[in-house]
Chain A
Amino acid sequence: MTIKMEMSPQEIKQKKPYLEWGLSEKEYDYIAKKLLGRLPNYTETGLFAVMWSEHCSYKKSKAVLREFPNKNARVLQGPGEGAGIIDIGDGQGIVFKAESHNHPSAVEPYEGAATGVGGIIRDIFSMGARPIALLDSLHFGEIKDSRTRYLINEVVAGIGGYGNCMGIPTVGGEITFDECYADNPLVNAMCVGIIAQSKMQKGQAKGVGNAVMYVGAKTGRDGIHGATFASTDFSDERETQRSAVQVGDPFMEKLLLEACLLLTSKHQEWLVGIQDMGAAGLVSSSCEMASKAGSGMILELDNVPQREDGMSAYEIMLSESQERMLLCVRAGFEEEVKKLFHDFGLDAVVIGRVTEKKDYLLKHHGQVVTNIPVASLTDDVLEESSREKVPARIIKRNEQPTWHPGQLAVGDVLCKMLQQPTIASKRIFTETYDSQVRTNTVVGPGSDAAVLRIRQTDKAIALTTDGNGRFVYLDPFIGGKIAVLEAATNLVASGAKPLAITDCLNFGDPNDPEVCWELHQAVKGMAAACRQLDTPVISGNVSLYNESNGTAIFPTPMVGMVGLLENVRNYLTPTVKSVGAQLFLIGKTGNDFAGTEIQKMLTGKFSGPLNDFSLTDEVKKMEKLLQANQEGLLESAHDLSEGGLAVALVELVLHNQLGLSVSVDFAGEQLFSETPGRFVVSVAPQNVAAFKKLMGTDAVLIGEVTSKRECELTYQDGKTVLNLEEAKRLWEDAIPCLMKSRD
Chain B
Amino acid sequence: MPHRRTVLLAGLIPLTVGACGSSSSSPATDSKQLVGAGSTLVAPLLSQWQPEYNKQAGVTVAYSAIGSGGGIAQITARTIDFGASDAPLSEDQSKEANGVVQIPWALAATTVAYNVPGVPTELKLTGPLLAEIFLGKVTTWNDPRIAAANPGVTLPALKIIPVHRSDSSGDTYAFTNYLSHVSPEWKASVGTSTEVAFPGGIGGKGNSGVGGAIASTPGAIGYIAISYVLANKLDFALIANAAGNYPVPDVVSIEAAAKTLKSVPSNNEVSIVDPPASAPNAYPISTFTYALVPLKSPKADTLKAFLKWAITAGQKFGPKLDFAPLPAEILSADETTIARIEN
Do A and B associate with each other?
A: no
Chain A residues near B (Cβ < 8 Å): none
